[in-house]
Amino acid sequence: MFKKNNYLSKLCFSLLTVSVLTSCSEQVPYEDSANEQGFTAPTPATTAANKALVATLPFGNNKDFEQANRGLIAKEDNLIIKKESGKVIWNMSDYDFINFEGKNGNAPDSVNPSLWRQAAVNNIHGLFKLHDDIYQVRNYDLANMTIIKGDSGWILVDPLTSRETASKALLFAQKHLGKAPIKAVLFTHSHIDHFGGIDGILSHLSDTEKANLRIIAPKGFMEEATSENLIAGIAMSRRSSYMYGQFLPRNDRGHIGSGLGKSPAFGTFGLMAPTEIVDHSVASLTIDGVPFSFQYTPESEAPAEFTFYLPKQKAFAGAELVSRTMHNIYTLRGAKVRNAAQWSQYIEEAKNEFKDAELYFGSHHWPIWGQDDIQSFLQVQSDTYKYIHDQTVRLLNSGYTPAEIAELIELPPSLTKTFSNRGYYGTLKHNVKAVYQFYMGWFTGNPATLDPLPEQETAQRYVEMMGGVDKVVEKSQLLFEKVDQVGTENVVKEYRWIAQLLNQAVFAAPENNQAKALLAKTYDQLGYLSESAPWRDFYLSGAYELRNGISSKIQQLNDLKQVLKAMSVDKFFTKLSVSLNADKAQDKHFTLLVNFTDINESYLLTLNNSVLRHRPYQEAEELGLQLDNQSEKADTVINITHLLFIDLIIGEAGIKETLFGDDLTVEGSKLDLISFLKSFDKIDGNYNMVTP
């Protein structure tokens, strides 16, 4: 009933595959060798499958390399960026091992050749001239920073992820282009790699420049930027460490890039509220003498996003509406599912509205020159998201489940032969499941999936039925050894099945080192076979943690301190409420009036039924005397600066030391206030992912 969905499904029919399989039979038998980080060698089956892929794609086409190198002004050969603490957060030299040569790129057996090619193009970094008025700094972070020359200064687009990388990128541009006043900064959308480095820009501006700086962002930017990065930010950070291979070695058995770029810079993040909002299409603005036409594209790649067109330069800035990869309708780090149909429509709108564009540049990757090439690029991208949407909906209406649809759907050949449309970041499989989720949610309709047992208990019961952990591991080992016999079209499917079996064993008996070791080896092979960089990093990060345990270097709230300062107090208390530990707060009834002495705002917090609520409170003549015209006294009143309150919440200031110090005043019981503050979890994000 099912078509073969794996990209290897047709490879066995090529002559190259026959030659590969023949050569495999003559190879030295697979030895379970490992590099110094513990990642095992690719098996002959993995090697054959990766080599067979080469025959299916036009690896001899070097146009992407030519475009990525075009306009290079300068680059830093030893590009290393550090935090003030000395911690390295960016090192392009880590990727020097990636060297694409020849028609097949000479990809290592441990890397999917198509992904190897993408990683090689993404290695090209430096300062580039795209047009007489447009420059771009690439690979100083995951995203690009674009510089547009105005009449009297510069307009910056997307100031990267962190203070450190944005500062370095700006200084490098100034070194080669000369200094100019910064007149405006554009945040194209609400993902942190496009605004988090704003403090790095501000650090180089005069007071006059700061006072006159225009910050332009799409409608909903502040709401989405703060909710995505803070409400569920800790969990997203944990999963981001997997998705971007944060703790993996930079080598051919580890992290080679993200598909979208190299990796985010896990530095110091900032945020600045916009001074101007784009809320419709086509919105015309003149910025430092430069005419802009904005396309408002909410609920596409980001909940708040815009693209823009420069009529004078005939240049279309696609933000992240389009990229040189299939993007995520759902991102593995966790975020709101995106509207694939709407996304496709926005691309179609841009294609028609900005049809005169002779230059395309984006928030990631490299530019495209020429109207025909730009129009073709936009058409393929638009058709891809619509195809995924329409065919998924067709099948879900026929009763298929997400897993079934992911096995059934294949893109037509016309949409798979273009490198810029391959699944280097998003994938067909998880995007299909995202469309299903968008319309139908998590429930498939099968009553057995309505209220299943938790993962660990399920695993324990399954493993017991299968005869115990040792039996499961023994059978999995036999299957692992026989993968070489299944043919390249079935290699990935077999490793998937082995991983499913061993995952049950590990969750049933997490102390069983043999099960963990074999599962790690299986994840190695799945990572080596993945064309998607996030899939590769997820598999290899899982293998890493099975061998080494959890890293203690997960991003902490402290690195988001500047974001916390910039967000509204209302949003800050929303963040606080989702940190309330219901068990610790049980039977507690408490009312706290917080007066922020430095920003002249007051909030009333009420704790009842293990639920924290907050509301603005306009301070009465006597604190706590009148609340909403009712004689309702606060249990405790605290007078504190906004910054000190943030330090208390993120743990930079001790509760007892601060409350009994001189930096604030408290009216009412300090002990009750301490009890209240101790009802909140300080979550470090170091939770298990591949073990229970």
Q: Has residue 555 been placed in a domain?
A: no
Of the candidates 608, 574, 501, 670, the residue with the CA atom closest to the CA atom of residue 222:
574
Sign of the CA dihedral with 147 first, then 150, 154, and 160 last:
negative
Q: Has residue 411 been placed in a domain?
A: yes
Q: pLDDT value at position 628?
A: 46
Per-residue pLDDT of 165-174, as tens digits, reads 999 999 999 9
Question: pLDDT above 90 covers what percent of the chain?
Answer: 75
Verify that 163 and 312 share a domain, yes or no: yes
Mean pLDDT of the chain: 90
Residue 681 and residue 581 in contact, taking contact as beta carbons nearer than 8 Å: yes
Residue 152 and residue 183 in contact, taking contact as beta carbons nearer than 8 Å: yes
90 confidence band (pLDDT: 50, 70, 90)? very high
Q: Which of 8-22, 433-447, 516-530 has the lowest mean pLDDT?
A: 8-22
2 confidence band (pLDDT: 50, 70, 90)? very low
Three-class SS state of 330: coil
Mean pLDDT of 446-475: 97
Residues 6+ apart with CB under 8 A from 588: 607, 610, 675, 676, 679
25 confidence band (pLDDT: 50, 70, 90)? very low
Q: Has residue 546 been placed in a domain?
A: no
Per-residue pLDDT of 483-513, as tens digits, reads 999 989 999 999 999 999 999 999 999 999 9
582-604 CB burial, b ≥16 within 10 A, e <16: eeebeeeebbbbbbbeeeebbbb
Q: Which of 288-292, 562-566, 608-612 has the lowest mean pLDDT?
A: 562-566
Q: Has residue 168 been placed in a domain?
A: yes
Q: Residue 600's domain spans which residues?
A: 568-677
37 confidence band (pLDDT: 50, 70, 90)? confident
The larger pLDDT score, comparing residue 98 to residue 9, is at 98
Whole-number Å distance between alpha carbons of 490 and 487: 6
Q: Has residue 550 been placed in a domain?
A: no
CATH number of the domain residue 652 falls in: 3.30.1050.10
Three-class SS state of 518: helix
Q: Has residue 202 been placed in a domain?
A: yes
**Residue 151 in this model has a pLDDT that exceeds 70:** yes
Q: Which helix (H) or strand (E) holds 603?
A: strand 601-608
The larger pLDDT score, comparing residue 557 to residue 635, is at 635
Top-ranked range on mean pLDDT: pick from 4-18, 36-50, 306-320, 326-340? 306-320
- Looking at 398, 417, 439, the residue that finishes a domain is 439
CATH number of the domain residue 266 falls in: 3.60.15.30
Question: pLDDT above 70 covers what percent of the chain?
Answer: 91
Q: Which helix (H) or strand (E) holds 113?
A: helix 113-121
Per-residue pLDDT of 182-236, as tens digits, reads 999 999 999 999 999 999 999 999 999 999 999 999 999 998 988 776 788 888 8
Q: pLDDT value at position 47?
A: 96
Q: Has residue 540 been placed in a domain?
A: no
Q: pLDDT value at position 228?
A: 73
Structure tokens at 276: 């101007």
Residue 529 and residue 247 in contact, taking contact as beta carbons nearer than 8 Å: no
**Residue 20 in this model has a pLDDT that exceeds 90:** no
Verify that 241 and 98 share a domain, yes or no: yes
Mean pLDDT of 438-459: 96
Mean pLDDT of 152-178: 97
Three-class SS state of 41: coil
Q: Has residue 602 been placed in a domain?
A: yes
- Looking at 394, 423, 439, the residue that finishes a domain is 439
Amino acid at 520: A
Structure tokens at 376: 């073709």
Q: pLDDT value at position 557?
A: 57
The larger pLDDT score, comparing residue 679 to residue 654, is at 679
Per-residue pLDDT of 220-235, as tens digits, reads 999 898 877 678 888 8
- Looking at 405, 439, 473, the residue that finishes a domain is 439
Quote the number of domains for the chain: 2
Whole-number Å distance between alpha carbons of 190 and 300: 11
Amino acid at 229: N
Mean pLDDT of 128-148: 98
Per-residue pLDDT of 247-256, as tens digits, reads 999 999 999 9
Structure tokens at 288: 């430092």
**Residue 31 in this model has a pLDDT that exceeds 80:** no
Mean pLDDT of 240-247: 94
Q: pLDDT value at position 576?
A: 86
Residues 6+ apart with CB under 8 A from 122: 139, 257, 259, 261, 262, 365
Amino acid at 532: S
